[in-house]
Amino acid sequence: MHYDFRLEAGGTLRSWAVPKGPSLDPKQRRLAMEVEDHPLEYASFEGTIPEGEYGGGTVMLWDEGVWTPMEDVDPAKALDSGEIRFLLDGKKLKGSWTLVSTGDRKWLLMKRRDEYADAYVDITLSEPRSVRTNRLLVDIAKAGGGDVEKAATGDPPSARTGSPAPRRAAAK
């Protein structure tokens, strides 16, 4: 189980597998393993890819939106150089972020300090549903004939049991 992080650049989706998912905490550095570029059509796919095929398993559109480089650079060249700072305007992820290569396909995905940073909320737990269909991963697997048991492990325990997801209390 992992989150795919994809940025459109140069007519393709540059792609990373992020095992723990993104963090809104600027102190967290999340491993992002670079994987092969994906065709643009992958940006809108949600469903089940048969086991044994590349990327086999259940796929959820967890977030979507637009991104903009923070500097006046060619995004593909910045990524090729190993570091890019960018703004996300997604439905869940917003604000400034950085991707930095540490070598051998390993990158770090980091939230930068801004109004959207939050060290107290785990966005993967508080926002577990698809932005397109409002389904949990297990629901997508059920509908597409996927491995329901495996998909259920990708949903937070609170979502599987119907309990509310943990949220930060309002500061006074």
Q: What is the pLDDT of residues 91-121, one digit of tens each?
A: 999 999 999 999 999 999 999 999 999 999 9
Question: Rounded to an integer, what distance in angstroms lies between the CA atom of residue 121 and that of residue 45?
Answer: 27
pLDDT digits (tens, 9 = 90+) for 56-82: 889 999 999 999 999 999 998 999 999
Name the nearest CA neighbour of 110 among 29, 3, 2, 15.
29
pLDDT of residue 94: 98
State the sign of the Cα–Cα–Cα–Cα dihedral 142, 130, 57, 162.
negative
**Is the model's pLDDT at 162 over the cut of 80?**
no
pLDDT of residue 74: 92
Phi, psi dihedral angles at 127 (to 5 degrees): -130, 70
- Using CA atoms, how far residue 43 sits from 19, 63, 110, 160, in Å, is 19, 10, 22, 26
Name the nearest CA neighbour of 91 among 135, 114, 123, 45.
123
- Confirm whether pTM is higher than 0.85: yes
Please report, rounded to a whole number, the percentage of residues in the chain having pLDDT higher than 70: 91
**Least confident stretch, 15-24, 35-44, 139-148:** 139-148
3-state percent breakdown (helix, strand, coil) of the chain, nearest 5: 20, 35, 45
- Ordered by start, the domain boundaries in the chain are 3-161
Mean pLDDT of the region 38-54:
90
